[in-house]
A and B are shown apart, each in its own frame.
Chain A
Amino acid sequence: EPEVTQTPSHQVTQMGQEVILRCVPISNHLYFYWYRQILGQKVEFLVSFYNNEISEKSEIFDDQFSVERPDGSNFTLKIRSTKLEDSAMYFCASRTDVAGNTIYFGEGSWLTVV
């Protein structure tokens, strides 16, 4: 079964450093998402992306965050200058172009900011 793949599975970075998290969504999917889950807390929406632009973003997704689809397969989340509170599991997700269909999540990337 097709799946969303994410790299790296775990990254430790120093505060203030830039981080890029990578995702390969399911190949025929057109909507892409990033969510995050701080340890012990809810899964929170960050941003959605469709037709090469951001379609929706949450208050969490401030100027420190950016997303990009650099080619036909990858979808990246960049955090420009990491803070301690950015430590979380970051999930990439995707779905087809059919509204209301299942959103499939990847295994996540653990980000630890020290």
Chain B
Amino acid sequence: SQQGEEDPQALSIQEGENATMNCSYKTSINNLQWYRQNSGRGLVHLILIRSNEREKHSGRLRVTLDTSKKSSSLLITASRAADTASYFCATDVRYSTLTFGKGTMLLVSP
């Protein structure tokens, strides 16, 4: 697999349920960032987690990072229809550029 691969590729849930998306990567990182993209729109930054952090919260979002497994997860609690979007993890290896995964398409049905 390549740097920053998310799974599942697609996730369909009902409003109120939790959504969990995973990201795996291959090389050591300095930080990992999660972004959201509504269809055909820009990338909205959600959370940055540094390599020495294990968990971060922001509102209904919870991100974990396990550097020993080279993986991260994004949990959205109590999902809403407005959370429908694609979610990407992006790894920052050299404090320079980001490498993006293919993303998880999340569909939240009312």
Q: What residues of chain A have their CB less than 8 Å away from a CB belonging to chain B? A: 33, 35, 41-45, 48, 55-56, 89, 91, 93, 99-108, 110
Contacts and interface: CB of A to CB of B under 8 A. Distances in A.
A106 B33 CA distance: 16
A100 B50 contact: yes
Given A43-B88, A105-B42, A107-B41, A99 B95 contact: yes
Secondary structure type dominating chain B contacts: strand
B45 interface: yes
A45 to B, nearest CB: 5
A56 B96 contact: yes
A105 B35 CA distance: 10
B30 A45 contact: no
A55 B96 contact: yes
Nearest to B45: A102
Interface in B52-107: 88, 90, 92, 95-103
B26 to A, nearest CB: 15
B42 A103 contact: no
Contacts of A103: 33, 45, 90, 92, 98
A100 B30 contact: yes
B13 interface: no
Contact of A43 (B92, B95, B96, B100): B100
Contacts of A55: 96
Nearest to B51: A100
A55 B96 CA distance: 9
Contacts of B33: 102-103
A102 B46 CA distance: 10
B30 A105 contact: no
Given A100-B50, A107-B41, A108-B42, A45 B98 contact: yes
